[in-house]
Structure 1
Amino acid sequence: MKILVISQHFPPEKSGNASRIFDMCSHLQKMGEYVTVLAPHPSFPPGSFKRKWSVFESRKMNDVNIINLLAWQPKSQDPGFVGRMAYYLSFPLHAVIWIFFNFRKFDVIITSAPPIFTGIGGIPAKLIFKKKWVMDVRDLWINASISLGFLKKGSLFEKMSRVYEQFCYSSASFDLRYY
């Protein structure tokens, strides 16, 4: 089976999500699956990596194919709402463009959340190209954003995020929720 994994974080980034996605992809590869990961150029935590502005770069890690796509890369540790949204939305929008040109290469799309916006790549894969879409949910990102003060409870942004989140859950072929 040919699997495309879409993740906002992937090694060499040091976040927990990056290492979990890497472990999952390595395990799938060892089981005989053909795995490709779409991720932005490494940029988390901000300031830890040199900023890259190439449209895409390919590399391999433990036989897993990795394609790093262009995304906004914040410079500061706290980029603010606009900078954070630019980072979280520019990558999945670029991923959708990449999928439009490469959808025949994959049988299954796995999107890993958080952030919830990686689901933007799964929507056309499932609804337009009829691919199986697995939504891998590892955290209640909207709730975490509210508790950390990044999003105001009851705000228009929260309501829009909840509608989008529910649309993703109901559209995915499967959703794996770990919370």
Structure 2
Amino acid sequence: MKVLFLSYYYKPDITAAAFRSSDFVNYLSKAGTDIRVITTYPHKSENVQLEEVKDNITLERIALRPVKGRGFKNFLIHYLSFIPKSISQSIKWSSKGWKPDIIYISSPPIFIGITGIILKYYLRRHLVLEVRDIWPDSAVAAGQLKKGGLAYKLASLFERFLYRRSNGMVCVSSPMRDYIKQYYNKSICVAYNGPKKKQLQEQKQSQPPGIAER
């Protein structure tokens, strides 16, 4: 299987989103998936290569336009600068004979969905959306957006549009799944950020005597 994975965050960036994305991609690679990743330069690390090819993973990084000042407009320009470059790279791979079976995008920010939607119809492939945070409400909590404003309303409309155009969805909690169900009537996969307490207890109980106490 061939998977095109797009995310704003990836190792060696020092963020939870980067660790999740990298671990997930490594898991798919070990399972034999031919996976290509389009991501950005790390936000909190300078230890990075332009392009990496390892095992079944091809990694391409994109330089985003720097954020100049605060305010939603500046953050919007920063996030949107990912779109044309990521689309161009995907089309470049496609023109050379590599087409994914699945396009997998990880949000937030939700603007990565623009790339996902365009590639879905251009490449005629299924789109899977991973939702790690509800956007635009997470942008409001971060002080990047004012709730109830025009930008918030437009972002909310796009959020629902993206949900409805996705062929599959992954989220991180049951409450998040219940929220998404308002706009998405297909099955939603809940993949927690870590094992649940019950799972940890069952794992501990299944270990040979003496191992759990070490």
TM-score range, shorter chain: 0.7 to 0.9
Q: Which moved more, 1:118-127 or 1:130-139?
A: 118-127
The match for 1:142 is: 136
The match for 1:3 is: 3
DSSP 3-state at the match of 2:88: helix
Give the superposition deviation at 1:130.
Answer: 1.0
Give the superposition deviation at 1:61.
Answer: 5.3
Sort the Cα spacing of 1:152 and 1:21 in 2 relative to 1 into closer, same or farther, 3 A.
same
Query: How many residues were matched structurally?
Result: 170
Query: Which structure: larger Rg?
Result: 2
Give the superposition deviation at 1:84.
Answer: 1.9
The answer to whether the 8 Å contact 1:71/1:90 transfers is: yes
**Cα distance in 1 between the residues matched to 2:83 and 2:116:** 9
Which of 107, 116, 120 is the aligned partner of 2:114? 120
Q: Which moved more, 1:23-32 or 1:88-97?
A: 88-97
Stretches of structure 2 lacking an aligned partner (at least 5 in a row) = 177-214
Give the superposition deviation at 1:6.
Answer: 0.4
**Cα distance in 1 between the residues matched to 2:121 and 2:58:** 25
1:84-111 CA distance string (max 9 Å, x none): 2222110123212222333352111100
The answer to whether the 8 Å contact 1:134/1:172 transfers is: yes
Give the superposition deviation at 1:63.
Answer: 4.9
Between the aligned residues of both structures, percent identity stands at 28
Q: Which moved more, 1:150-159 or 1:87-96?
A: 87-96
One-letter identity of the residue aligned with 2:41:
H
Sort the Cα spacing of 1:63 and 1:99 in 2 relative to 1 into closer, same or farther, 3 A.
closer
Q: How does 1:40-55 map to 2 (within 5 A)?
A: 40-42=40-42, 44-45=43-44, 48-49=45-46
TM-score normalised according to structure 2 size = 0.72
The match for 1:90 is: 81
DSSP 3-state at the match of 1:162: helix
Q: Does residue 152 of structure 1 match 2:146?
A: yes
TM-score normalised according to structure 1 size = 0.84
One-letter identity of the residue aligned with 2:144:
F
